[in-house]
Structures are given as structure tokens and as C-alpha cells.
Structure 1
Amino acid sequence: MKPSPSNAGTPDDRATVEASSGQALMESAQAWARRAERSADGSLQAWLHCASDAYRALAADERTSADAAALATRAAAEVLSRVLHQHPDAWSPGRVRIGEVRFHVELRDVSPDLRPPLRIRRAQDVSMDAFDGERHSRPGFGVPVAVLPLRWDAEPLHRLAPRSGVFRNLTAWIEPDASQPDAAPRLVFADPLKLDALSIGAHRFPLARDTSAGYAWGMEVSKLERLGLWGLIGGRQIGQRAGLYLLEDYDPGKRPLVMIHGLGSNPLIWSRLSNAVWGADDLRARFQIWQVVYQTDAPLLVARLRLQDYLDAAWRELDPKGERKARAGTVLIGHSMGGVVSRLLCAHSGDALWNAAFLVPPASLRASAEDLALIQRIFSFHPYPGVSRAVFLAAPHRGSPSAATLPGRVTRDLVGRRAVEVHALRRIALANPEAIRPELRAVFEQGWINSITTLQAEQPVRRAAEALLPAPGIAYNTIAGVQPGRRMKSDGVVPLESALIPGAESSLVVESGHRVHEHPLAVAEVLRILRGAGAH
């Protein structure tokens, strides 16, 4: 019975009306669900009606809101299962018609880098093999989905967006049109990290989310893994992708976590660590993940200079005035050669490296201004501004004997010598042979200097670089692997004594091969370090 006009406005009566309305809407939604379960051809339309009525019930009565939210989420999952099966690609905002079913697609609080048309998969349908089965998710309202752009070769909105494609983890649900009851419902896709909860009436519903699926799906289709080794032996494609990339929208208040891969490798090696950071609420709130792609055939000091330039280019675009909080507190994480590069980004070179290669000061060399300026930048540097910590994993700080073995020599001879920096050094050596240290003269004149040669334990410049530790104020940690049964303690590539250096805030040794960055204990150790990094 409806309340009489004289008392319809009292709180108790309004609650009675809302409860009655909420119950009626829930009964209608449940009826649509039963019809959908019995139906074959009409199940999509029935699930849309179910989701719409359940959504309306969310605002009507607090006593039915939990059941309504669960039913609305289930119905949205059923809708997505059907529409994504029939229409997996080319999703864009606007009107969609599948058979006789009509609805509108809305992208809400979504990254501007995620440009339609889009490919969409339910998160639960994405394999977690890349993360060894580890999925990070949170239950709640809506259906987590993974989203990738349809065209991976499209130009990104800016040069810091990954060339291989932006990925995001969104949450989807069905909303009826409140202004037009008979209008087509909306299929909403929203970023649950920006829109943490949905407010409906007086109620607040935390959104479900999955922080793993987008990256896992992106790894399935990325070309980076096969390009990494090819880039080591001279392939051009990895060089065309070289640079620093943001794996999430830039946040001026979060500290950059810059991940640097090693020799012949690529940023995909950081998948398990990235997944773990995104899956930890406290770390995700403090850090943003940046990854570097670089051509690893370049000599060690050239690689350091290029990474410095990549960081400079990123800050020019993100914070040209240098005012943002993110500028301070950068953490570098490097594996193998990437660990050595990270250490050199934290160090003062002084004259040590120049004197290890040259017998005269720069002003005494016969060279063009461009060549001389470039060579000075390679051999003389300061700690990169804003870096407060570094973590080195399986890094050959004292060189690697494998670079001098037969396989190492073969690889060394295959590695390309196209680096413009090497050509500049060669021109200077040919014009000033008396200025080059005798043990390096032939190497410089012939241009036989690359990433392999500069990791050899006895290489003079590498020996000088070994003494360059992070500057005061920059904390650092080491993680190393040791394979059991070896006569010399080593991860199979880097000796333990080369991976551990003095002054580290902590040093962890795990039973592992050279891919120590994937070891669960190493990942847990990096998370521990990051949680304690607030004081630096």
C-alpha cells in the first residue's frame, strides 16, 4: 500500500518506499537472471536487463544493496563474456549494436594514452604464466578487464608511451540511463586506480580490480623479447625503440622506479617485480614504474651516457621547470650490465676514467669540437640528479670472466660497432695515437670496443670504473645468485665477488642462476628495500 499524501514525506515512509522499490527491482533482476539462464538466443538481452535492474536496486535499499551489487557484477560478467566473444576488438566509445541488442560504451577516468579502438579481455581470461601464476586482484563491484590498443604500431600520444603499446587494467559494469528509462544501457569501462569506488545514492561500492592482467596480456604480444638479443648483435629495431617509457600515467607526486635491463635483454625481464609492486597498495601509492629500452651492443660508458640522455628527455617533457616532487627520490634497479650502468649513474667519475684511457688532458687532443665534447661526456660525469637509491642484481661490478671465454669472444666479434660514440673515439685515436694508453691504442683505432669488451675483467677503463661507488647520500643494495655445485661461487655468468661491493646497505645471496631478478626471494627483497626507502 502506498503511503497517504499527508505522511509520504516522513523519513520512515520514504525508507518504506525505498525498501519496497529496492525489493521489487531485485525481484525483477532475479527474474531476468532466471530467464537468461534458461535462454540461449535471448540471454544477452536478458543479462543486460538483469544488470540494469540490479544497478537501480543499489540505490534503493541498503538491505538489498550487497545482493544487488553481486547480481549486477555477475550480470555484467555474463554480458562481457558474450559480447567479447562476438566482438573482441575495435572497441570505441559510443553506440554499439550486436544483433538486436543495443548499448552505449563509455570510457570513464581512463588514461588519455589508451586511445581507441581497443582490444578488451576479461582479466580472468588472461593467463598468468608470465608471473608464474601470481595474480594480484581485489574483489568488489564490477568486472576487471585488460585493455590494449588495437593498433600497436600507432604513434603514441607522447614519446614516453611504450612503442609496443599501452596497456591498462580497467573495471566494467552496466549502468541504466537514469534520464531515459527506456534508453539503451551503458557499458562503462573505468580505471579503478583513479575511481576507487562507485557512489550510487547514499551507498559507496569499492570497485573490483586486477593489477596483473593488462601487463600479462601485453607481454604475450610484445616483440621486445625477440628484439633484445638481436639488438645485441646489431639489429636496428631495438635501437629504434630505445628510450625511457612510463608503464602508467605520470604522477608528479610518486617516486620513479627506473628499471634497467642487462646485456642482450629487454624490459620484459622485470615482469614479476613490476607485477609485485603494482599488487602492493603501499608501494603502488609511492612509486611509479619506468622502464628503459637500450641497445646493449654499445660500450658500458656509452650506455651510461645514453641512459642519462633518456632521463633528461623524460624530465624535459614531464617537469621542465624541475618543480615536481617526483624529481627527488628516484630509485634505480639494474640487472647484470644494467646494474653496472645504474652504479655509474650514481657516481662521480672525477679524472679516473679519462686517465685510464688517455695520456693527455682533453685540451691537448686534435679533434673536432663535436667529437671532443661527446668523448668528454662519456668519460666525465656526475651522479644523476634526484637519484636517492639503487638496487643492483647480479651486476658484474668487477667484470665477468665469461666475456673473455670462447663464447664471449665470439659474441664480442658479432656485436655491432655502429655506435656514433665509438666512431668519434676512433677518429680521435687515429688523429692522436700518442695520446692513447698503449694497451688501448689498437682497440680504439680499430673501433673494437663494445659492451662485451668493456665487461672484461682486465679492461683498463673497466678496472678504473670498478672503484666508482655511489656518491654519499645515495644508498645502495646488492642481490646476487649462486649456483650450487660450482667450484667458484657464481650465478653461471657473474662471480659472487664481482656482484657484491663494499658499502652496500644490504647484500642478499640466493641460490639462483643469472636470472636472479625472477627469484621470489629476490623480488621479496626488492619490495622490502622499497618499503624502507622513505628515509633516503
Structure 2
Amino acid sequence: MRPGILGKPRSYRDHRLAWMTCFALLAACSSLSRQPKNDALNEARHLWRDTAEIQRKDIAARNWVRCAVAAYQASESGSAAQQAEAQDLADNCTHELLGYLLDVKPGAWSAQSLHVLDQPLRVAFRDLPDSLDDGPVALARADEVTIPPVMGVRYATRGYGVPMVGWQARCHDKPICMLYPPEGLTRTLVAWVEPGDDGVAQLIVSGMREHPDITIGKRSVPLASDPSATLAALYDRSHINRLAVWNLIGGRQFALREGLYLLDDYDPDKTPVIMVHGLGRSPMVWAKLTNLIDGDPSLHARYQIWHVIYPTNTPQLLNRLIVQRSLDQAWHILDPDGTAPAHQEVTLIGHSMGGVISRLIVSDSGDVIWKAAFDIPPEQLHGTPADLAMVDSVFRFHPYPGVTRTIFLAAPHLGSPYVDSLIGQVALRVVHAHAPELDALIRVTTENRAHENPLLAQDYERYGLSSISTLRDAQPVSHAAQSLMPAKGVRYYTFAGDLPGTNPPGDGFVPLKSALIPGAVSTTIVKDGHQLYLNDEVLAKILEILRQP
């Protein structure tokens, strides 16, 4: 036999064994090639299961980081069922990790590098809303925010990541800051964990307006969101309801809040829905309707919600001017050129006195109201130019440009006879109004007694001048304002309550004949009281209206 390479003879059996070994190795390699290079899904499964038995939170948190990374990697490929399982694991591990991190670091967060035990973790913010500046952002898991009963149910959208709420104090260095609630900004965010390019795990906290999806591998996956938690977090910080009640009896803090407020970042392409509260109320009455609109993805994509605050102790016509000025100020900041699509088609929704104000906002007064107050034109009255201009702006106005649709809920368009009841008489004596515009009106009427409507002067003398007194049908200026209807081209819808046993028929405060005005696109009457903003039938109908072209 020929000597072998190593100097020892080989037998036929040796050759045969060598070939068999080679074939076995090739078969093993072939089998390995059919297995995933990195069984990330299996790793995530084990980490999630095993970590449930770990008592030390820091060790568990380290495992949740690794679990979330492995699950993210597993989401990049595999069958639909495997991808769905991987997403659930990623969300579950991230959810637990966030619970740990927010307990350890409860304050505001910024981009940073940290360690979870011996596991490096980089916190990165991505695509945050423009309204959240470069400063730290307070974070909360959305599922830890309680939804108050007044908002209805929680509306959350399933998707990749853990829904979050971000909060930041209101800014003061830009004009738009004036349009943010004094309580601060709450924004809908989402968080997930992914591997960084350098192999370091990253906790991503992201906004959603620009990029509502995440790309994992070759597929696009919707991100999870919980807009209800965002709204609830804002309302939880507010004490505005208490201020609204105090405003009626002379409190001035609510009046200091007058203006228009954005609940989300301004979008020049989305239609504004501007909500106007009623007597002694605040924007909190719109909690349920706001939640319904934001919780419907199709409506949220089409509309942006703005809330108006005005002092409800002042007369209706002055409140109309205050709301108009709030709109003017907002548009001057948001769209000074008046070219944005959002500026061309606005929807107003008003409850009670807010409904009356909304009607006046879209009406042309001509000289109807002026002639109910004075028997000569403005230019012939005596007074300072500033006082005369103020009185003129209260009594004479045009339809507000851009408002194409209004919705009236339980609005006393023709006044309310309940003002003459015992409770109404008490309210007339208790409700007090303070405003520079009223001072200007008093100065002008004092200098022009000979030209003031004597019936108006008598009414002022007997009942005073407040929101309650101007609900009286016999009040001359209010009576004239009742004749004004929305301008041509403005679609309007009326809603009224009809409680059994009320006399006259109505909701216990506003009679049906006062709430229902001619020319409405639709009229809806429900067996309910004055608080129609809580009635499910009414709210469903409003959503139906908003879904129309």
C-alpha cells in the first residue's frame, strides 16, 4: 500500500470512514442552513417567560431590554403569526421596562445614555411634535392615565409600541404659545425598543403626526396610540370648571383665561372644529365630544379641535365680540395671509349661550341692533373715538369669514322665560359683569341720553347688564339680535331637549320654540335636559354631520 500523507498506511476502511464523516458534516451543514441564523423569537420567548420569576427589578429590567431587542429583530421576518407574536413580546417587554424606568426616574426626560444594571440603553426622541421644544418632556404610560367618566370610554389604537403621554409646560417665547392651554401641553406619543446601528439598545420615544407607522424589515406597521389618555391628562391638570362658576358671581380669574386654545399642534390642512361653551360652563363640557372625535381615526385625520373660553357673566353681544377677537388673534398667529385650507372651512359648535354666540358670529347685523339702542348713526354720537369704536363693534358686525357650518345645542335663540322665574330673578341679582367694554358703553349712553332707546335705558336701570339680563326676550337689544339668522351659505343644525312635563315644552331651561330656528339643515329633538353635550344620541348625530363632505 501507498504510505499515507502522515506516514501511516491507509486501509479501504479508513477511506470509507473518511467519506462517511464528510457526508455527515455536509448533511449537518445543510440542516443548519435551514435554521434561522439567529433565533431571536425563541430568545424573546425565553426572556419573557423566565423574567416573570425574577424578584429583583433591576435584573428583570435588563432582561426586558434584551427581550424587546430580540422581539424587534424577530419582527423583521418570518410568518405573519411569528411577526404578530414577536410584536406582542416586544410591546410586553417594553411596557414592563417603561414601568420600571418611570418609577426610577419619575421626572422629565431628555435624550440620554444610561445603564440598566450592566445593559447599556440609549434614550432617543424622534419626530416629536413641533410644540414640544428642546426641553425635557414628562412621560407617562397611557394605560396609567385614568379616563374620567365625563369623557366616556377610552379610545386606543392597537399597533407597534407602547402608547405614551408627553407633558411639557407652556412656552412663552413665541406668539403661538398664547394658543396653548395654561395647564401645559399634553401630546400623544409612543415608545419602543430597537437595536441601534452600533449594537446598543435604544428606547425610542416618538411623535406620530408625521410618521404614524414604523418600518421593520421590509414592512410598514402602524404605531399604537391612545389619544383619550392625552386628553384626560390635560383635563386632570385643569381647575377651570371651578373658575367658570366663580366668574358668574364676579370672579375675574376665568376672564383672564379668555381666548382660543389648541388641543394639538396646528395643521393648516385640517378643518378646525371650534367649540363654544355655555353660561357658567367651561371647555370641560366638551370632554366627551372631543374624545369621540379624537378617538375616531378618520375624523381625527380630518379635524383639529379648538376650544374657546369667554367670560359668561357678560352680555351676549359683548361675548360675541370677545369670541371674534379670540378668532382674529388665533388666525393672525396661525395663518396671517389667510391662505391655509384650514382657514377656508371652519365648523362652530355652541351649547346654550355658546350656541347663540355662534349664530351671531355667522350673522350680519346691519343696523338692526344699533337702531334698537340709538336713534342716530354712530358718527353723530358724542364720545371719545375709542369709546364710540368699541360700542360700534359690539352693535354692528359681519359674518365671520371662513365659517361654513354651525351646530347649535340647546341654544336659547329667542331667549328664555326662566329668567323671569324666582331662580332667574336671583341670578339677575347675583351675576355681575365687569369689562372695559361695558364701561365704554356706560360712558357713551351717559353722554347721549337723548338718543338712547328709553326702553333700553329702563331695562338697564331695572335689570342691569349681564349675560342673564340679555336672555330676557323683552330686552330691546336682545330682541333685535334674535332676528339675525346665519348668513347665506352657512349650513346650520339645531339640537333641542324636550323633557316630559316641562311647561313650556323644552329642556327645563330653553323652550323648544327658542332652540329651534327655521332654515336648519336638520333638527334633532331628544328626550333630555339642557346638558345635550352628554347625550349619546346627540353626539352620534354630530359625528354623522362631521363625516359629511
Q: How does the TM-score come out when normalised to structure 1?
A: 0.91
- Do structure 1's residue 271 and structure 2's residue 326 form an aligned pair? no
Q: Deviations over 1:142-193 (max 9, x none)?
A: 11122223x47977862111122211121111122222x2x3x222222234
SS in 2 for 1:167: strand
1:391, 1:438 → 2: CA distance?
Answer: 35
The code of the aligned residue for 1:57 comes to A
> Taking every aligned residue pair, what percent have the same amino acid on both sides?
39
Does structure 1 conserve the Cα–Cα contact (< 8 Å) formed by 2:259 and 2:308?
yes
SS in 2 for 1:485: coil
Q: Match for 2:73 among 56, 61, 73?
A: 56
SS in 1 for 2:72: helix
Q: Match for 1:220 among 236, 239, 253?
A: 236
SS in 2 for 1:39: coil
2:132, 2:463 → 1: CA distance?
Answer: 43
The code of the aligned residue for 1:164 comes to E
1:403-422 matches, within 5 Å, as 403-422=419-438
Specify the alignment match of 1:105 in structure 2. Answer: 123
How far off its partner does 1:68 sit?
A: 1.6
How far off its partner does 1:528 sit?
A: 1.0
Q: Match for 1:93 among 111, 130, 150?
A: 111
2:399, 2:407 → 1: CA distance?
Answer: 15
Does structure 2 conserve the Cα–Cα contact (< 8 Å) formed by 1:327 and 1:386?
yes
Q: Deviations over 1:423-473 (max 9, x none)?
A: 011001111111111112255579931111111121111111111000110
Specify the alignment match of 1:329 in structure 2. Answer: 345
2:381, 2:463 → 1: CA distance?
Answer: 18
1:110-129 matches, within 5 Å, as 110-115=128-133, 116-129=135-148
- Do structure 1's residue 162 and structure 2's residue 181 form an aligned pair? yes
Larger radius of gyration between Structure 1 and Structure 2: 2
1:60, 1:342 → 2: CA distance?
Answer: 55
Specify the alignment match of 1:7 in structure 2. Answer: none
1:34-45 matches, within 5 Å, as 34-41=49-56, 42-45=59-62
Specify the alignment match of 1:252 in structure 2. Answer: 268
- Do structure 1's residue 47 and structure 2's residue 47 form an aligned pair? no
Specify the alignment match of 1:469 in structure 2. Answer: 485
1:351-366 matches, within 5 Å, as 351-366=367-382
Distance 1:428 1:527, change over 3 A: same
The code of the aligned residue for 1:110 comes to L
How far off its partner does 1:325 sit?
A: 0.8
Specify the alignment match of 2:149 in structure 1. Answer: 130
How far off its partner does 1:37 sit?
A: 0.9
The code of the aligned residue for 1:76 comes to T
How far off its partner does 1:198 sit?
A: 0.6
Does structure 1 conserve the Cα–Cα contact (< 8 Å) formed by 2:493 and 2:520?
yes
Does structure 1 conserve the Cα–Cα contact (< 8 Å) formed by 2:62 and 2:117?
no
SS in 2 for 1:213: helix
1:511, 1:21 → 2: CA distance?
Answer: 66
Specify the alignment match of 2:365 in structure 1. Answer: 349
Does structure 1 conserve the Cα–Cα contact (< 8 Å) formed by 2:382 and 2:448?
yes
1:454, 1:105 → 2: CA distance?
Answer: 57
1:76, 1:441 → 2: CA distance?
Answer: 69
Q: Deviations over 1:485-518 (max 9, x none)?
A: 3232121211111111111110101111111111
Specify the alignment match of 2:14 in structure 1. Answer: none
Report the count of equivalent residues.
514
2:34, 2:426 → 1: CA distance?
Answer: 78
The code of the aligned residue for 1:33 comes to W
Q: Deviations over 1:270-329 (max 9, x none)?
A: 111111111222221221111101111111111101111111111111111111111111
Distance 1:29 1:300, change over 3 A: same
Q: Deviations over 1:102-123 (max 9, x none)?
A: 5332222221323543333222
1:92, 1:446 → 2: CA distance?
Answer: 61
Greater CA deviation, 482-491 or 57-66? 57-66
SS in 1 for 2:364: coil
Does structure 2 conserve the Cα–Cα contact (< 8 Å) formed by 1:21 and 1:57?
no
Does structure 2 conserve the Cα–Cα contact (< 8 Å) formed by 1:35 and 1:43?
no
Q: How does the TM-score come out when normalised to structure 2?
A: 0.89
SS in 1 for 2:167: strand
Aligned CA RMSD, in angstroms, stands at: 2.2
- Do structure 1's residue 205 and structure 2's residue 224 form an aligned pair? no
Specify the alignment match of 2:325 in structure 1. Answer: 309
Specify the alignment match of 1:4 in structure 2. Answer: none
2:316, 2:452 → 1: CA distance?
Answer: 19
Query: Is there any run of 5+ residues in structure 2 with no aligned partner, and where?
Result: 1-28
SS in 1 for 2:273: strand
Specify the alignment match of 1:77 in structure 2. Answer: 95
1:443, 1:153 → 2: CA distance?
Answer: 45
The code of the aligned residue for 1:125 comes to E
How far off its partner does 1:403 sit?
A: 2.2
Greater CA deviation, 510-519 or 128-137? 128-137
Greater CA deviation, 120-129 or 464-473? 120-129
SS in 2 for 1:381: coil
Q: Match for 1:171 among 174, 190, 196?
A: 190
Does structure 2 conserve the Cα–Cα contact (< 8 Å) formed by 1:426 and 1:444?
no
2:254, 2:230 → 1: CA distance?
Answer: 23
2:87, 2:93 → 1: CA distance?
Answer: 10
SS in 2 for 1:189: strand
